[in-house]
Structure 1
Amino acid sequence: MSNYLAIATVTEVLKELLQEAVQGAAVTTMHPSKQKESPAINIYMYQVNPNKSLRNTDLPTRRSNGSLIQCPQIALNLNYLISFYGNDATHEPQRLLGSVVSAIHANPVLESQQIRDVINKIDYIRNSDLDTSVEQVKFTTIPFSLEESFKIWSAFQTQHALSIAYEASVVQIESEDTVSAPALPVHG
């Protein structure tokens, strides 16, 4: 289980992985309508879904008197759209796409040391504990049709860019509530 910083940590580790895979291109994490740099790769989390196989693993979390049995947990899948910008005449977006799919295919699972290295570099995720999570985060491609692509880019209200979608599964987040042990019976 991880704390509330797990989602931001996954995004930052993905950004670091992609920055290492490409040379001379910026890697950003902004809304696609705000992308201005070229050449660039933009990572945008466009959807979050409950993980179907782990969706109800933490029920129940409270006793009938309301006291906490275990901290509430949620298992999530994060959907990322990775877009590529650059000079089309020299196939820069396509070359960046090739670098990214190659890097993610070679490193589909976020390793603890890799996560820890990124956590130690970035102040706003310094208290993340994703590196100690039992469940590892794995990236897989999400196929989407031309119609789905059109819908996504229309929702962004910006011009289409060469893109690929990935799912990061599974990110488990646990509440920071404190579980108190039930009182022991008194024998008299």
Structure 2
Amino acid sequence: MSDFKAIAAVTETLKALLEQELPGLAVEVLKSPVELGGVAPKVSLYLYRVEHNAFASNLDWQALTESRLVAPPFGLNLHYLVTPYGPDELETQRTLGEVMRVFHENALLRQDHAALALPLSDMTEELRIVPRTLPLGDMLDLWRGFEKAAYRLSTTYEVSTVLIDSRVTRTVRRVQERVLDVSPRR
């Protein structure tokens, strides 16, 4: 589990993972894909959608002490647009292939993974990196959302489940004595 910094920490983790596995490849996470250019091979990781994870909504309150409970964390799925850049189309395709290989080979990031950002160090769930192919029409709509942008070769990935801790607590009293009345009723 983590605090509110978990969303940014996942982005930092994906960037660190790519930089660790593909030394020399620039990974941009601070600009939208349309703000990039140049001839050096690089990749844009752009968080374009955040949604609640329905399965995490079934988690129970957790005991902090004998008389104190904390509300369950809420879960999120993060959707990233991955856009490669390079001096020519073939280099762009190679870069995309390398990035997709890294995400495939590291589809599960556990608590002890070297690329994991510090705010995620106490997470209880593993992060799953899953390709989420958008239909071409949806991908074109996504790119149309960027002002003055032409479509570029891209793919999308979902990272789940990111749990963010709640700060809501409540005090409870434990049952001290239980009395059962087994006498017959009339």
On whether the aligned pair clears a TM of 0.5, the verdict is yes
Tell me whether 1:148 sits opposite 2:138 in the alignment.
yes
Residue 160 of structure 1 aligns to a residue in which SS? coil
**1:45 counterpart residue number:** 47
What letter matches 1:171 in structure 2? Answer: V
What letter matches 1:102 in structure 2? Answer: R
What letter matches 1:55 in structure 2? Answer: S
**1:86 counterpart residue number:** 86
| CA distance in 1: counterparts of 2:128 and 2:58, whole angstroms | 20
Residue 10 of structure 1 aligns to a residue in which SS? helix
1:31 Cα offset (Å): 1.3
**2:105 counterpart residue number:** 106
Number of matched pairs: 167
Q: Deviations over 1:32-91 (max 9, x none)?
A: 2221343210000100111122234358xxxxxxxx8423521110001110011225x1
- Cα RMSD for the two superposed structures: 2.4
Q: Deviations over 1:129-178 (max 9, x none)?
A: x222111110000011110110010001212221110000100101234x
After superposition, the Cα gap between the structure-2 partners of 1:13 and 1:54, relative to the gap in structure 1 and judged at 3 Å, is: same
| CA distance in 2: counterparts of 1:151 and 1:74, whole angstroms | 29
Query: Which is richer in helix?
Result: 1
Q: Structure 1: state its 5+ residue gaps.
A: 60-67, 120-127
**1:34 counterpart residue number:** 35
**2:8 counterpart residue number:** 8
Residue 157 of structure 2 aligns to a residue in which SS? strand
Q: Does the 8 Å contact 1:109/1:137 carry over to 2?
A: yes
Q: Percent identity?
A: 33
| CA distance in 1: counterparts of 2:71 and 2:56, whole angstroms | 15
Larger Rg: 2
Q: Structure 2: state its 5+ residue gaps.
A: 62-67, 176-186
Q: Deviations over 1:90-135 (max 9, x none)?
A: x11111111111111111111223367642xxxxxxxx2x222111
Higher RCO (CA 8 Å, separation ≥ 6 residues): 1
After superposition, the Cα gap between the structure-2 partners of 1:97 and 1:135, relative to the gap in structure 1 and judged at 3 Å, is: same
TM-score by length of 1: 0.78
Residue 126 of structure 2 aligns to a residue in which SS? coil
Residue 24 of structure 2 aligns to a residue in which SS? coil
| CA distance in 2: counterparts of 1:184 and 1:149, whole angstroms | 54
1:23 Cα offset (Å): 3.8
Q: Does the 8 Å contact 2:74/2:163 carry over to 1?
A: yes
Aligned match of 1:57 in 51, 56, 59? 59
After superposition, the Cα gap between the structure-2 partners of 1:49 and 1:184, relative to the gap in structure 1 and judged at 3 Å, is: closer
TM-score by length of 2: 0.79
| CA distance in 2: counterparts of 1:109 and 1:4, whole angstroms | 22
